[in-house]
Structure 1
């Protein structure tokens, strides 16, 4: 991954792959998160991102440390309704896109500018439009 400049202030959102790579100490993702923090950006994830990313081999101590430095955004009924509307508007449906829609909806509510580290740029672009800058991980 090439070095990418991030905006001053705003929010950096990690999707499942972004969180997994950060927990796994993947150098490019660690560097992007460090740069975001240096520039005053808050790092945030959806609570569902934790559920989606954790597996049997997850280093729980590292996960706990990583999460301690992030804002974990809960999912409530209003967010779920808004995520459902994003799915409908994007022409998507089903469990394959459900968590992506929740993450996208959460990202759209964050302090701007918003940058998201995401594995599925195409689907996230359908859900977020041009209101979130997407960076492939």
Structure 2
């Protein structure tokens, strides 16, 4: 399955569901991340995604271990402005779509080709258009 969805080099971006499934040892997401690494892709996550995915039942040791294998990308002023522009361009409101917009802005800045593991293909399509490849998880 993973071989048909991933390129060589580039970047794999996980949204909240992608990170949650990786934390939960979901077989398909673990396989996709492993295949991406074998193909030379860098696996990244937006810092806001970490906040969104964490809850009281998370195993802190597992979280630390999983995050040690990902590059956690900060969200500063530049990223906030880029996310705001994406929201405005898509006609979406930040109250509901702020983190999706930050993930989209993060994805668009990464080394191409970019693949985003997401549970929200529709919203990410509105934000990213065809500039990234979306894989539903």
Q: Same fold (TM over 0.5)?
A: yes
- Partner residue in 2 for 1:79: 79
Return structure 1 stretches of 4+ with deviation > 2 angstroms.
none
Q: Any stretches of 5+ residues in structure 2 without a counterpart?
A: none
CA distance in 1, matches of 2:95, 2:54: 18
Q: TM-score, normalised by structure 2?
A: 0.97
- Partner residue in 1 for 2:42: 42
Structure 1 residue 94 displacement after superposition: 3.0
Structure 1 residue 123 displacement after superposition: 0.2
Q: TM-score, normalised by structure 1?
A: 0.97
CA distance in 1, matches of 2:92, 2:54: 25
Q: Secondary structure at the match of 1:65?
A: helix
- Partner residue in 1 for 2:92: 92
Tell me whether 1:29 sits opposite 2:29 in the alignment: yes
CA distance in 2, matches of 1:96, 1:53: 16
- Asked whether the equivalents of residues 83 and 104 of structure 2 are also in contact (C-alpha less than 8 Å), the reply is yes
Q: Any stretches of 5+ residues in structure 1 without a counterpart?
A: none
* CA deviations over 1:82-137 (Å, ceiling 9, x no partner): 10010000010032100000000000000000000000000000000101100000
CA RMSD, 1 decimal: 0.6
Q: Secondary structure at the match of 1:72?
A: strand
How many residues align? The count is 135
- Partner residue in 1 for 2:11: 11
CA distance in 1, matches of 2:82, 2:43: 22
